[in-house]
Amino acid sequence: MDILSILKGFGNLLLDPVTILYIFIGGQAGILFGMMPGLTTTTALSLLTGLTYVLAPHQAIAIIIGAYVGSVTGGSRSAILVNIPGTPAQAAVCLDGYPLAQQGRATEAIGLSVTASTIGTLIGFFFLALFTPVLGAAAMSFGTYEFFWLAMIGVVIAGSLCSPSDPIKGWIAGFLGLTLMTIGEDNIHAIARFTFGFRQLSGGFALIPVMIGAYGIPEVLNSVRHVQKMVIQSQVGRVVPKFHEVLKYKWLILRSSLIGLIIGIIPGVGSDTASWLSYFTAKKASKTPEKFGHGSIEGFIAAETGDNACVGGDIIPTITLGIPGSAPAAVLLAALTIHNLRPGPMLVIEQPEVVGQIIAISLVATIAVFILSLLMVKQMVKLLLVPRYILMPAVFVICVTGAYTLSGRLFDIYLMFIFGIVGVIMNELNYPVAPLVLGFILGPMAEDNLRRGLMITHGNPAPFFTRPVSFLLFMILFISVISATKFGSKLLNSTSTFFKTLIPKKNKNINEK
């Protein structure tokens, strides 16, 4: 895959107005979902994956990527105007966005937000275009053993990072997903397992109802628990892009974009982490850290750029390795799989035009969302005033449609509801949902490659630990697990202290000489 494939993808896209229209539809839907507090990017993508199942693959992907970019950008509206992040990624945006609105600078803040989001997303997608061929080529050397570890790393690291204060809960969620995923026929011998007498379970759990249930239903049910009323205190006028103003912070933008990109590449970690990390890094580096939290443009831009650049980073491992960079990317992976496109190294090598098309769609989606973000701002903001107890039952109807469309089975709707209840319980007990869903997505990859690898070696597990890349991946997994435990962090601290004590001694010796 090379630049020609990307250009070819662009060429094909520009000659296809229907797909461009779908990008705009997806972008607008994403903005709407993004700005509604409680509706997450993942919910938006899960629903759209179900609804667009009947479309041609590139058209469905156009809607989904458009919605992905749109919801990440749109989430800042409610963060700025009502101090409630539209998506979790915008929680950091609230800190400075809302104070700006309180100062009567809501329009300016939205203008800055749209501009910073666009630049961040473009930088993220630039690196997507740059890294995808490189990573895809590198991944060609991966075999059964390496893919097993990659899948396990995806689930375990997602667990650690989604539950930073208590990683074990993240791992438990991941193991739960990996266990539940095995219900139904296995891929190698087609033996039905754990069906508990239910015929419908022999096909296993379909991914879309599980995802819609785990993400969408808890939002619907939580919306009625405590009824919320929102008031928009700031007036919103015509939004004007602030390129010249934002470009004053070019180094801040570049740094935040790189943070977003790297965070995005790490499996399971989403734009929320990128946003916070960019924010805190900007605060540390700022000459005026005291302004952070009181309407600091720096803080605001850092959070916005970081979370948007993450989108590009999220898509890189999704396409090249078949491992989603975040929960929304996991839905994108599922959507690609549903449309018979198997993301991974083979996609990059065998169907470079598809990868080129995805990159082209991503870039056009950024521009589409930029244009859409400047239109109908006043009308869109009014939607924020619709009470959630009115909005959420309507969302539930879309959830039902999304879950049903895929296979036309009522069973999938019931399954969605059951996973919704599981999601509510997990949320109440502080177990993250993302590793559970990731377990469902990466589980087949882990299981098939583990068994296949052992079959090749007649039960000898040595290649899982002795092949260079396998060993490296195993060590990454091992260190990430150990470092998350009390004993491991103590060990790491004492090791670093030991090395720190060595360094001055060495310098001292040099000086003495």
Partner 1 sequence: MENPNLENSDKDPEEGQILLPEGESSEIDPRKEIVGSILLIIVGLIFVIKAFEVPFNSNLWVVYSSPTIFPLIMALFLVITSSSVLIRSIKRWSAQKAILPEIKIVQSMKEWGAKNFLIGTGIIILYLLLLGKVNFFLLSAAEVLAFGIIFRQGKISEALKLSGITAIIIIAILYIIGLVFGIVFP
Report how far residue 412's alpha carbon sits from residue 405's, in angstroms, rounded to the nearest whole number: 9
Report how far residue 74's alpha carbon sits from residue 60's, in angstroms, rounded to the nearest whole number: 20
Q: Which is nearer to partner 1, 67 or 246 (CB)?
A: 67
Task: Output the six-digit token pair for 324.
Answer: 């989603």
Q: Which is nearer to partner 1, 355 or 484 (CB)?
A: 484
Report how far residue 110's alpha carbon sits from residue 444's, in angstroms, rounded to the nearest whole number: 43
Q: Which of 10, 137, 182, 262 forms a contact with partner 1 (CB under 8 A)?
A: 182
Q: Which of 390, 504, 506, 509 forms a contact with partner 1 (CB under 8 A)?
A: 390
Q: Which residues contact 417 (CB under 8 A, 6 or more apart)?
A: 213, 217
Q: With binding defined as CB under 8 A, does residue 188 bind partner 1?
A: yes
How near is the Cβ of 290 to partner 1 at its closest, in Å?
16
Q: With binding defined as CB under 8 A, does residue 382 bind partner 1?
A: no
**From 113-121, 125-133, 254-262, 275-283, span contacting partner 1 (CB under 8 A):** 275-283
Q: Which of 391, 463, 469, 471 forms a contact with partner 1 (CB under 8 A)?
A: 391
Q: With binding defined as CB under 8 A, does residue 360 bind partner 1?
A: no
Task: Output the six-digit token pair for 2.
Answer: 């090379």
Q: With binding defined as CB under 8 A, does residue 145 bind partner 1?
A: no
Q: Which of 57, 143, 203, 293 forms a contact with partner 1 (CB under 8 A)?
A: 293
Please list every residue from 38 through 77 that binds partner 1, using CB under 8 A. 38, 40-42, 51-52, 54-55
**Residue reference for tokens 């597990």:** 461
Q: Which of 354, 447, 470, 473 forms a contact with partner 1 (CB under 8 A)?
A: 447
Please list every residue from 80 through 139 that binds partner 1, using CB under 8 A. 82-84, 88-89, 91-92, 94-95, 98
Q: Which of 285, 397, 482, 492 forms a contact with partner 1 (CB under 8 A)?
A: 397
How near is the Cβ of 149 to partner 1 at its closest, in Å?
14
Bridge partners, 192 (sequence order): 185
Please list every residue from 485 through 504 that binds partner 1, using CB under 8 A. none
Report how far residue 12's alpha carbon sits from residue 19's, in angstroms, rounded to the nearest whole number: 10
**From 6-14, 164-172, 254-262, 467-475, span contacting partner 1 (CB under 8 A):** 164-172
Q: Which is nearer to partner 1, 136 or 209 (CB)?
A: 209
Q: Which is nearer to partner 1, 169 or 242 (CB)?
A: 169
How near is the Cβ of 111 to partner 1 at its closest, in Å?
21
Q: With binding defined as CB under 8 A, does residue 451 bind partner 1?
A: yes
Q: What are phi and psi of 254, to 5 degrees?
A: -65, -45
Distances, alpha carbon 440 to alpha carbons 6, 290, 315, 479, in Å: 31, 44, 18, 24
Residue 425's CB: how many other CB atoms inside 10 A?
11
Short-list 242, 202, 250, CA closest to 100: 242
Q: Which is nearer to partner 1, 245 or 448 (CB)?
A: 448
Q: Which is nearer to partner 1, 1 or 152 (CB)?
A: 152
Q: With binding defined as CB under 8 A, does residue 197 bind partner 1?
A: no
Q: Which of 3, 7, 11, 193 forms a contact with partner 1 (CB under 8 A)?
A: 193
Q: Which residues contact 148 (CB under 8 A, 6 or more apart)?
A: 445, 446, 449, 450, 453, 464
Q: Which of 131, 404, 464, 474 forms a contact with partner 1 (CB under 8 A)?
A: 404
CA 243 to chain centre: 26
How near is the Cβ of 37 to partner 1 at its closest, in Å?
8
Q: What are phi and psi of 192, to 5 degrees?
A: -75, 130
Q: Which residues contact 398 (CB under 8 A, 6 or more apart)?
A: 47, 51
End-to-end CA distance of the chain: 55
CA 208 to chain centre: 16
CA 85 to chain centre: 16
Q: Which of 4, 394, 475, 491 forms a contact with partner 1 (CB under 8 A)?
A: 394
Task: Output the six-digit token pair for 386.
Answer: 């619709």
